Amino acid sequence: MKTVNIHQAKTHLSRLIEGAVNGEPFVIAKAGKPMVTVVAVGPTEPQGKRRLGFMEGEMTIPEDFNTFAQDEIEKLFYGEE
């Protein structure tokens, strides 16, 4: 891993960051003593488009989904009848 002093890091920061993004992390040192390591945060490009329906067939929805517990819900809203 490349080590640069603070002055070099300030002078060539853009170039050093571009290198870190491309997989070349570096260490910034002060008086020869390593202070920080600079590495890329993560992928800069999207991983791909999101797919709709990618879990098709993985779960089922009950037939009475729209009316499930309808009686109880109506009692809560309208009271006992």
- Contact residues for 39 (Cβ-Cβ < 8 A; gap 6+): 20, 25
How does pLDDT run across 15-68, given as a tens digit for each residue? 999 999 999 999 999 999 999 999 998 765 666 787 888 888 898 888 888 988
Indicate whether 1 pLDDT > 70: yes
Buried b / exposed e over 26-49, threshold 16 CB at 10 Å, is bebbeeeeeeeebeeeeeeeeeee
pLDDT band at residue 81 using 50, 70 and 90 as cut-offs: low
| Ordered structural domains, the chain, with CATH | 2-38 (3.40.1620.10)
Q: Provide the pLDDT for residue 31.
A: 94
Q: Provide the pLDDT for residue 43.
A: 66
CA gap 4, 35 in Å, rounded? 10
Q: Alpha-carbon dihedral of residues 42, 48, 53, 59, nearest 10 degrees?
A: -30
CA gap 31, 10 in Å, rounded? 15
Q: Provide the pLDDT for residue 16.
A: 96
